Structures are given as structure tokens and as C-alpha cells.
Amino acid sequence: MALTRRGAGVLEPLERPAPDVGDRQVVVRVDACGVCRTDLHVVDDELPHVRVPIVPGHEIVGRVERAGTNVTDLQPGDRVGIPWLAQTCGQCQYCRTEQENLCPNAKFTGYDVDGGYAEQVLADARYVLKLPEQYSDVEAAPLLCAGLIGYRSYKMAGDGGRLGLYGFGAAAHIIAQVAVAEGREVFAFTSPGDVRAQEFARSLGAAWAGGSNEAPRAPLAAAIIFAPVGALVPEALSRVQPGGTVVCAGIHMSDIPPFPYARLWGERVVRSVANLTRRDGREFLQLAARLRIRTETTSYPLGEANRALEDLRGRRIEGAAVIVP
């Protein structure tokens, strides 16, 4: 059984036969699948060219049930993770220069190919990741996008000492722990008045937490924007020091409003993060094995995936939601 998006805004149950496995593919039994804001964008028809029907979900944890004849490094019983990046061409200029995240022919899990809001999923074995054993299935699920995209964003933010995180949800609560472990000061920016999220940020080591309209006690070296709110770009620029970087981490964001050039001047930089590479996945999961990151999760049965999405829309989730078939 799977849940598929047929129209905008809601998922419907779908019974389907077990998938056939290709030479380089694996069939994975889904044990947990994280709920990402990108899933919400897919379901709400906020991204272009979404395949319909489509099974969302790209933070997939499970065990290999079947492997194709050309799969040599995975076998039935192996516990694996399936992330957002599902396939690339391997031949374009981006694939040849370790920028496969920009491949124009890339396919993405839960967007171009069916994802993990299901009991089984078919994946290209070359894009499947082995997971640290110390995490349970539910704990590991948010690492596969909130963690991976957060990690790529974190790398692009540079190594300055004061890091701002705008939107303290699934990704920020993971990356905050990485930053604190590496000796940085974390400044958490939430929706104005969201005391609960601010307390959550402090519990994970944030040196300061406040509303997104507030000024931190010192200029930031960099800021990462996880909330899909374009107005946060000029706001974050006003909080970073000269030479600082503002990283836009989401796949979707509302329009950025006009702002004076003075906010950008001083060699400040605004950049986006697009997708991830398999190298990001390997690096971050090795890091997660060393740090033992705490992932705050709320579990939902597969049949209640619509409720999980609605809770995400309503900002009622602390940390990450996880679907458990």
C-alpha cells in the first residue's frame, strides 16, 4: 500500500503490485520515512512539473528485500537510507565535476520517482546510503534530508564563529547541534512570539533565540534560511557582518521583496542550495555517527500521513515528523 498525490492538497491510498527490480536497483521495505517541507510543496502543487500521481517521501529508512543482478555492495537485509537525489546522468559537465546536484537530467525521490509514503520503494542502488547503526529507524529518517540539505547549507555558510538559523524546524534542530559541537555560537530565529521553538533551540545549545524580526546581540558571520519566506533574505542580510553569507536552503521560497543595495554591500553574499550529492550524504552520515545527533521526532502511521502534513502546515511539530508504515 502507498499514499499518492492525485490532486493538490491531499494524499489518497493506492494499492499497487510489488515493484520489479532492475539490474542496478533495489527494492526496500520501508520502516520509516521522514516528512519534509518539500513533501508539502509537492502535495500543495507549489513546485513545477510534479508527476501525478506521485508517492511523496524522500527521507526513507528501510531494509533491502531484493537486489538487481548488477548490485554488488548491497544485499537483502542491509539497512539503508534513500535520500532526495534518486538518479543523475553521470555524463554532463556537472556530473563530471562533482556537482551532480546540478545535473539537468537528475531525478528526485518523491518528485520524479515514487517515494517512501509506502510499504515498499524501488531505488537505484548507486544512490542509496548505508546508515549509522546507533540510530533507530525513526531517529535516522530526518538525517536523510533535513540533515543532508542542512549539512550542505552549513558547509556553504563558511566557518565563521556566529551562525544564524532562520526557521527552527527539522533541519535547523539537527544543524544547530553540529555547529555547537564544532564550537560555534548558534543564534536561532523563529516566528515572532514562538516561545516554544525558542526554548527548544536553547535546549539544543543555542546561545540566543528570538523572533525573526529581532536583532542578535552581535553581527553574524553567516545565516542559513530554512523557512520558505523570501522576506527573510533582506532581514538576514541586515544581521550579517561585512563579508558574511546568507544561504537559502529550501527548494521553494516566496518572492524576495526589493531591498536597498546597502544591505548587500560590504561583500555580503546571498546564495542558494540545490539538492545534494552522494558525497554530502557519505560525509554527513559519518559525522552523525561521531556526534550522535539527537533527532526530535513525532511518529505517524502511514494511514495518517495527511494529518502529519497538516501538522507541518500548522507548525505543530517540534523537530521532525516521521511516517511509520
For residues 201-219, average pLDDT: 97
Q: Are residues 31 and 139 in the same domain?
A: yes
End-to-end CA distance of the chain: 9
Which residues lie below 8 Å from residue 217, measured CB to CB, with a gap of 6+? 208
Together in a domain, 152 and 133: no
Taking a C-beta distance cutoff of 8 angstroms, is the pair 223, 202 a contact? Answer: no
- C-alpha grid cell, residue 190: 523563529
Which residue from 257, 253, 203 is spatially nearest to 225, judged by alpha carbons?
Answer: 253
Q: How large is the average pLDDT for residues 200-214?
A: 97
**pLDDT, tens digit, 9 for 90 and up, residues 251-301:** 999 999 999 999 999 999 999 999 999 999 999 999 999 999 999 999 999
Gap between the Cα atoms of 56 and 11, Å rounded: 9
Beta bridge partners of 247: 224, 271
How many other C-beta atoms are found inside a 10 Å radius of the C-beta of residue 12? 12
Other CB atoms within 10 Å distance of the CB of residue 94: 18
More confident residue, 49 or 79: 79
- Confidence (pLDDT) at 110: 96
Regarding whether 21 and 54 lie in a shared domain, the answer is yes
Residue 183 sits in the same domain as residue 251: yes
- pLDDT for 7 equals 66
pLDDT for 176 equals 98
The verdict on 189 and 304 lying in the same domain is no
Residues 110 and 205 in one domain: no
> What is the distance between the alpha carbons of residues 93 and 70, in angstroms, rounded to a whole number?
26
Judgement on whether residues 176 and 69 belong to the same structural domain of the protein: no
Average pLDDT, rounded, for the chain: 95
38: CATH:
3.90.180.10
- What pLDDT, on a 0 to 100 scale, did the predictor assign at position 263? 97
Q: What is the number of domains present in the chain?
A: 2
User: Do 280 and 240 share a domain, yes or no?
Assistant: no
Residue 182 and residue 34 share a domain: no
Per-residue pLDDT of 79-102, as tens digits, reads 999 999 999 999 999 999 999 999
* Cα gap 255→263, rounded to integer Å: 17
Give me the mean pLDDT over the 202-211 stretch.
Answer: 98
Q: How far apart are CA 258 and CA 275, in angstroms?
A: 26
Phi first, then psi: give them for residue 170, nearest 5 degrees. -60, -50
Q: Are 49 and 114 found together in one domain?
A: yes
Last residue of a domain, one of 231, 249, 272: 272
What CATH number corresponds to the domain at position 256? 3.40.50.720
pLDDT digits (tens, 9 = 90+) for 61-82: 999 999 999 999 999 999 999 9
- Do 85 and 126 share a domain, yes or no? yes
Residues of the domain holding 163: 148-272
Whether 281 and 264 map to the same domain: the answer is no
CA angle 5, 19, 11 (to 5 degrees): 15
